[in-house]
Structures are given as structure tokens and as C-alpha cells.
Amino acid sequence: MGKTYTMSDIHGYLEVMEGNFKKINLENKENQLIFCGDYTGHGSKS
């Protein structure tokens, strides 16, 4: 069984999201990433 990662309330801060991608292992096909919350709204990449 793989790990489940969640990421929420990105608010358009693409650089922060990309930094978080570097911290988790998504190469293992059993792992999954779930987005929840707001994707846009404040950051420069909204």
C-alpha cells in the first residue's frame, strides 16, 4: 500500500506547490496526491 499526500489551499502560489512536489515521492505508482481547497485567488500565478 502506498502513501497518500494531500495539498490544499494553493491560492496560485505555484513556486510553493512545486517546492512541495520535490519533498514527496510520486515516482512510486502506489502513492497518490490529492488536491483540496482553493487553487487560485492570491498568488502571482492565479
Q: Is residue 18 part of a domain?
A: yes
Q: Is residue 42 part of a domain?
A: no
Q: Is residue 23 part of a domain?
A: yes
Q: Are 7 and 38 in contact (CB under 8 A)?
A: no
Q: Is residue 44 part of a domain?
A: no
Percent of the chain with pLDDT over 70: 96
The predicted pLDDT at position 5 comes to 94
Distance CA 13, CA 39 (A): 9
Q: Is residue 14 part of a domain?
A: yes
Q: Is residue 28 part of a domain?
A: yes
The predicted pLDDT at position 23 comes to 92
Total number of domains constituting the chain: 1
Containing structural domain, residue 11: 4-36
The predicted pLDDT at position 13 comes to 85
Q: What parts of the chain have a pLDDT lower than 70?
A: none
Regarding pTM above 0.85, the answer is no
Q: Is residue 13 part of a domain?
A: yes
